[in-house]
A = this chain, B = another copy of it.
Amino acid sequence: LRKNFYIFATAVFFILKTTTVFAQAPSTDEDAFFIKNIYSYSLTQGNAYTWLRDLCARAPGRVSGSAEAAAAVEFTRQIMDTLGLDTVYLQPCMVPHWVRGAKEQCKVVGSPTQGDMPLNVLALGNSVATPEGGLTAPIIMVMSLEEVEKLGEKVRGKIVFFNRPMDGTQVSTFSAYGGAVDQRVKGPAVAAKYGAIAVIVRSVSSTKDDFPHTGVTVYDDKTPKIPAVAVSTNDADKLTLLLKAEKEVRLFIKTNCKTLAPVQSYNVIGEIRGKKQPQEIILVGGHLDAWDVGKGAHDDGAGCVHSMQVLHTLHNLGYKPNRTLRCVLFMNEENGLAGGTEYARLSNLRNEYHLAAIESDAGGFTPRGFQTEAESSVFIDKMKKITRWSPLLEAYDLTISKGGSGADISPLKSQLGLLIGFRPDSQRYFDIHHTAEDTIDKVNPRELHLGAAAITSLLFLIDKYGL
């Protein structure tokens, strides 16, 4: 029975705190009141959870080029059309069209102790298929790309098993992910350089279970494309034990992926035009595509509905922005970044200026704050300005810190605005990331709506005061 949790803002998260003490804060009681309204509206009248539930049901597994991706484009376009925005449109972009094909098979074959032992795997995104009959070879376990480089020709004809886990001692799971994902992204290309015939990679996961985690791999143009799968963390542990116990472990792998001709797809865009400085754009976005095996609830349906909710909340609270507020649902973040690249290309062609761009692509969990980045020539100044509002945001347990923003908005950095990544709690995200388990039941409605409220509040302050 604990009551009366009043939050006192006693602490600042980050290094530039002295600037918070001395810089003039333009924020007022009126702003605090409006932010309170943003939270109340988002929590009790927000549509984000309903939209997300429907998006997951009607456009599950919406990988770029798929029918589901087309459904996601049309579904979100129709929602945006109801939000009372000034304009809603589709921005064409050509996207890769990779298909998984029939379900992968993978097993240990002919183990003296285990016989044939099936393993839970998923082909990596963009990966090629095995020969039609599959392939069989001994595996060789490595813990890093560097180890493959050292082994060199010893991997020839083998299946390379990348087995370095995420570092469980890291508090930030994104840091731990960043420290392990090179095996998945670059492993097949590096192994192919020395004649490996396939790759099996330990799922980049923060938990131990039977679900394999897919994700993109990037081949090297100079080396052959070899088949690559992710194996569940439990099965990776089983393989590890087997390799200790037996002289040689042979795997059978059969994957059926194909890369078809590129497809025309779209970024979905809606905007409210600014009344005073319409030429200054504040973008809020997420990505519409999701891996084929799950429903894309946290990655990144959450970011899409966050972004739509931001504009909807401000519109319904009667807010008339100074700047142009633009919601962008990017296509193809997962395996190509075609949407983000095309958006930036056209924006630069039109000489647009993004004063700020906020991406939500870290899930729909309880908000912790925001991370910022910018060209070094403007970063310190922008950071001073945005941290003027820290006291207002700390009342909602939100901090502002330096860090990565988002893949889709990263090409906008050259416009010299501030790039911002929404930072929700990260502890559960990599349990389900890129798996069949990324489903709506993993999303808590209050947490999702708090995320929308946090982003809306920051966007409101940027719009009102500039950066």
Question: Given A168-B44, A444-B431, A446-B206, is A175 in contact with B6 using a C-beta cutoff of 8 Å?
Answer: yes
Task: Tell me the complex Cα distance, A439–B116, Å.
Answer: 37
CB of B168 within 8 A of CB of A43, answer yes
Check A171 for interface membership: any CB of B closer than 8 A.
yes
Query: A39-70 CB contact bits vs B (8 Å, 1 = yes)?
Result: 11001100000000000000000000000000
Could you say which of B7, B39, B366 contacts A425, with CB atoms under 8 Å apart? Answer: B366
Question: Given A3-B29, A3-B32, A21-B21, is A427 in contact with B401 using a C-beta cutoff of 8 Å?
Answer: no
Least Cβ distance of A388 to chain B in Å? Answer: 12
Question: Given A3-B404, A390-B11, A403-B5, is A171 in contact with B39 using a C-beta cutoff of 8 Å?
Answer: yes
Residues of B within 8 A of A387 (CB): 10-11
Q: Taking beta carbons and an 8 Å cutoff, which residues of A are in contact with B?
A: 1-14, 16-18, 20-21, 29, 32-33, 36, 39-40, 43-44, 168-169, 171-175, 177-178, 181, 206-207, 216, 333-334, 361-362, 366, 368-369, 371, 387, 390-391, 393-397, 399-407, 421, 423, 425-428, 431, 444-447, 450
Least Cβ distance of A364 to chain B in Å? Answer: 11
Could you say which of B2, B181, B368, B371 contacts A406, with CB atoms under 8 Å apart? Answer: B2
What are 27 inter-chain pairs, A to B, with CB distance below 8 A? A1-B216, A2-B33, A2-B405, A3-B404, A5-B426, A6-B29, A6-B32, A7-B401, A8-B9, A8-B12, A8-B402, A9-B13, A10-B16, A10-B17, A11-B394, A11-B399, A12-B17, A13-B391, A14-B394, A17-B17, A39-B169, A39-B171, A44-B168, A171-B450, A173-B446, A207-B445, A427-B444
CB of A17 within 8 A of CB of B21, answer yes
Nearest to A40 among chain B residues (CB) is B169
Question: Given A168-B43, A169-B43, A427-B446, is A5 in contact with B5 using a C-beta cutoff of 8 Å?
Answer: no
Residues of B within 8 A of A39 (CB): 169, 171
Could you say which of B9, B366, B396 contacts A395, with CB atoms under 8 Å apart? Answer: B9
Least Cβ distance of A399 to chain B in Å? Answer: 4
Nearest to A13 among chain B residues (CB) is B9
Least Cβ distance of A190 to chain B in Å? Answer: 18
CB of A12 within 8 A of CB of B394, answer yes
CB of B4 within 8 A of CB of A175, answer yes
CB of A10 within 8 A of CB of B403, answer no
Task: Tell me the complex Cα distance, A387–B444, Å.
Answer: 32
Residues of B within 8 A of A4 (CB): 174-175, 178, 403-404
Task: Tell me the complex Cα distance, A17–B18, Å.
Answer: 10
